[in-house]
Amino acid sequence: MKTAFIAGRLYTPVEEIQNPLLVVEDGRISEISSRSAREVPANTAVVDFGDAVLAPGFVDIHIHGGAGIDLMRAQPSELPRLGTFLAAHGVTGYFATTVAAPLDATCTTLGRLADAIEAAADSSSTNNGDPAQARPLGIHLEGPFLSHKRRGVHPPENLVLPTVEVFERLWQAARGHVRMLTIAPELPGAMEVIGEAARRKVCVSIGHSDAEMPVAQDAVKAGANHATHTFNAMRPLDHRNPGIIGEVLSNDRLSADIIVDGIHVSPAVVKLFLRAKGRELAVLITDGISATGMPDGRYQLGPIEVDVKDGTCTSGGSLAGSVLTMDRAVRNVTKFSEWSLRDAVRAASLNPARAAGLAAHHGMLAKGDAATFTVLSPVGEVLKTVVRGRGF
């Protein structure tokens, strides 16, 4: 069974194709071309999206939950509901992100998340009419190796000084599915853990940190390659004492992510960030919590109680994650800066996939890869999402 998707534009996202033709066969992309170069093949069902945009599915490397589901507590049976919610917002893959919790509880969570990741990897790619679901691709450990001073809402009693022993314990509990680690590089023992995590191909992200600039530079030498929610939970930038942010914004060996909800970072500073990191190194995250897609009220973020009012999530007066969705983050980028929809899509797809060291087919549209993509209106509203040939 062949299906041809036609639309106004396609972003690979490195290239842009006008009047594209994307052919899906047995859950894979068998062809990407322009209709001016190629007729729709015979015996092919055609799905016409008019002036819409075909784009790679978004990859959210920092998300704690959504649709009422908290990833620290979720049972594997609940994850399909979260996956369906995320796919409706253009996300096709994500890193389940922890918060600092007691180590035993964290290890139990990691085992459950490993089950979900392995089950999602095994699921079939046949289109059985089920809605598309974003898949958990790995685990992001946000904590416990965070700065007390820049902990945000992570409970102080759950913060731990970095040691390879604790990292190993978490790694074993997650059965090797840890793909990303947020760590404050100034903590004693941090450089050794950064080196060890990098050797295991983990994306080591500096954040929740009060580091001075030279410490951040040492972290990069030790293997750090990314930065977590730039500006938030970081020593602020001072023009005579630039600190960690000075390094994050000026070092092209570091990609960096940011929460573009208009609340965590002001639009003008988002624009500065995008100019500093550029179109290849800027990464959008949501930092979304269980309240995403739900009414205002009180929600749980691991061990933390969070109050959600008018789109702002707080706990004890500090920001506690967001209710941002990735499609809104993409639209916000086009509103806050001069970046095009294609640039914004890249920051939500290819850039996070590369930052996190995911295989080449994530965050890109290419012939031969699984049919995983999202369909956006010309202003970035999600019309349809397909994951490994499922969802149309």
Catalytic residues: 287
Neighbours of 115 (CB within 10 A): 16
**In 3-state terms, what secondary structure has residue 259?**
strand
φ/ψ bin of 67: left (φ > 0), alpha (ψ from -120 to 50), beta (otherwise): left
**In 3-state terms, what secondary structure has residue 358?**
coil
Nearest 5 degrees, angle CA 286-CA 280-CA 218?
85
Strand 20-25 and strand 28-34: pairing? antiparallel
DSSP 177-202: -EEEEEE-TTSTTHHHHHHHHHHTT-
For residues 223 and 232, give the distance between their C-alpha atoms in angstroms, rounded to a whole number: 22
Structure letter (DSSP) for residue 77: G
Q: Which of 339, 377, 375 is nearest to 260 (CA)?
A: 339
CB 283 within 8 A of CB 352: yes
User: 347-374: b or e for each residue (b if 16 or more CB lie within 10 Å)?
Assistant: bbbbbbbbbbebeeebbbbeeebbbbbb
CB 57 within 8 A of CB 388: no
For residues 43 and 129, give the distance between their C-alpha atoms in angstroms, rounded to a whole number: 20
CB 91 within 8 A of CB 135: no
Nearest 5 degrees, angle CA 49-CA 53-CA 56?
115
- In Å, the largest CA–CA distance within the chain is 66
For residues 385 and 390, give the distance between their C-alpha atoms in angstroms, rounded to a whole number: 9
CB 181 within 8 A of CB 207: no
For residues 28 and 257, give the distance between their C-alpha atoms in angstroms, rounded to a whole number: 30
